[in-house]
Structure 1
């Protein structure tokens, strides 16, 4: 009995020893990154985290373009590192409390034609963070007429570089590719659509196509498909299904009233609010549907595209100013120089 107890004790001790050794090894690996576990070091890391949160929340941050509503100015693609990444000046409109719409101070507002990042006014929006162009300012009367923006009864032309880009419409349509994308999303769910009569011949055709495509897209992340993939999957889809789908979405999409109706509540922008539209007007869910955006929802002004490198852009001309060049070149060189100086200092102490 005693020998068995001694063997169990030995095994338990060996297991405890291995566990302790593993914990020491893990701690060593973590300390190689974080440094020693001291109160002073903890304070340093808390300071770094606070600085990062302050910079991202109040000074500058980067955002990904999730959709094609701002094309051709900005390319949207939810796939990893495919869509444009924009840099946003959050200090311009006043610092906010991070992760909220509460602004500590209001220092100014955007100008017409600025591109801004903001929190959606609809709490149930598919994309909670959006990017659009400022078209109407507080107190103005705005109207979209034959592709042009009419402010207080007068046509306001966009800046010359944007004249061939911006043409606003009072209706949203689905092009052929977008119809096929929507069909794939419906096929993935493969559920009946509300307000459609399942006994109607065209509806039966649509449901048959959804059923046929369901197995092909059931386990596919549809947002990662490119245009060629969509075309290949929908190569032999019955045109009747796509036609019916376009009619269905025209019934269920949000009503377009703001900037379209002459009624004061839909044409006069309240104080401290803005009218924001997508550059890809015919395929953009924007202020025409969800209305005016309050100032405290504005995160900041987009001033550059930093990725992909082949599409890099400077929207505000900051890269031609002394402070812009300082941010782009001076700060990185300063960090490199500081690291070089510290390395020499450490070497001289050895």
Structure 2
């Protein structure tokens, strides 16, 4: 079950604030002779300031997320806690995502948190295609508007039976480290085969973005479920601030870094 935490937080903030305001304007005057406040009013007045601060911070400033999968390896790995800026792409109306104050727009190469089409879960991928772009991806080679994206091989290292192969990709002002898996099991004759993931051609509509994971052979992204509408944007991933994969491990801060 997916819990819509922003909606719950907004409702809780509104309800506790409404109760606190009603008490200040009306109920407090009627109970001047009473020794104690009713439980609901007391709790609402206590929780409202805390909820309001949290609501403003996570809606308009920054919000923490945890990486749940391997789709952004090798740069972001499962268990990384990241900080997502909520104002880099403009101040947005919580829950609905409508832009209130334009500040900036996603740039090619940004790592972005968003909701995929028809899916209430948070996703994190890299911005590949901007509105109006033509994207092609064949045999591991990415092209944008007819121009091949510069890719520099970095070699590989074995992980279990497959081989992880790394490369650097120049995307706008960003240099992304990307990954493919090379495995003999993927080929009928036992030869090593690069698993690059879905391939094809796409034209990005206005008001939408084309997203891809850095782990190109192991990422469900725009190649699978399509384009991300502008109103589905949550924010820009800016930093790793902790790594904690599960509760049996000790949190680590060795991976703390800015996200490129």
TM-score (norm 1): 0.47
The answer for unaligned runs of 5 or more in structure 2 is 1-35, 151-168, 187-196, 244-252
Q: 1:47 maps to which residue?
A: 49
Q: Does 1:92 align with 2:104?
A: no
Q: How many residues align?
A: 186
Cα gap change, 1:312 to 1:175, in 2 (>3 Å): farther
The answer for unaligned runs of 5 or more in structure 1 is 1-35, 77-82, 180-254, 262-266, 317-350
Measured after TM superposition, the shift of residue 45 of structure 1 is: 3.5
Q: How does 1:1-350 map to 2 (within 5 A)?
A: 42-43=44-45, 45-76=47-78, 83-123=79-119, 128-157=121-150, 158-159=169-170, 162=175, 165-166=177-178, 256=198, 260-261=200-201, 267-308=202-243, 309-315=253-259
Cα deviation code 1:155-194 (max 9, x no counterpart): 133339846x3267xxx99997xx9xxxxxxxxxxxxxxx
Helix, strand or coil: the match of 2:91?
coil
Q: 1:92, 1:175 → 2: CA distance? A: 43
1:136–1:276 Cα contact (<8 Å) kept: yes
Please give the root-mean-square deviation of Cα atoms over the aligned residues, in Å. Answer: 3.3
Helix, strand or coil: the match of 1:55?
helix
Larger radius of gyration: 1
Cα gap change, 1:173 to 1:99, in 2 (>3 Å): farther
Displaced runs of 4 or more, over 6 A: 38-41, 172-176
Measured after TM superposition, the shift of residue 73 of structure 1 is: 0.8
Measured after TM superposition, the shift of residue 96 of structure 1 is: 2.5
Measured after TM superposition, the shift of residue 144 of structure 1 is: 1.1
More helix as a share of residues: 1
Helix, strand or coil: the match of 1:54?
helix
1:61–1:87 Cα contact (<8 Å) kept: yes
Q: 2:138, 2:198 → 1: CA distance? A: 14
Q: 2:58, 2:183 → 1: CA distance? A: 36
2:73–2:178 Cα contact (<8 Å) kept: no
More strand as a share of residues: 2
Measured after TM superposition, the shift of residue 120 of structure 1 is: 1.9
Cα gap change, 1:74 to 1:292, in 2 (>3 Å): same
Measured after TM superposition, the shift of residue 43 of structure 1 is: 4.0
2:238–2:258 Cα contact (<8 Å) kept: yes
Helix, strand or coil: the match of 2:136?
strand
Helix, strand or coil: the match of 2:99?
coil
Q: 2:178, 2:125 → 1: CA distance? A: 12
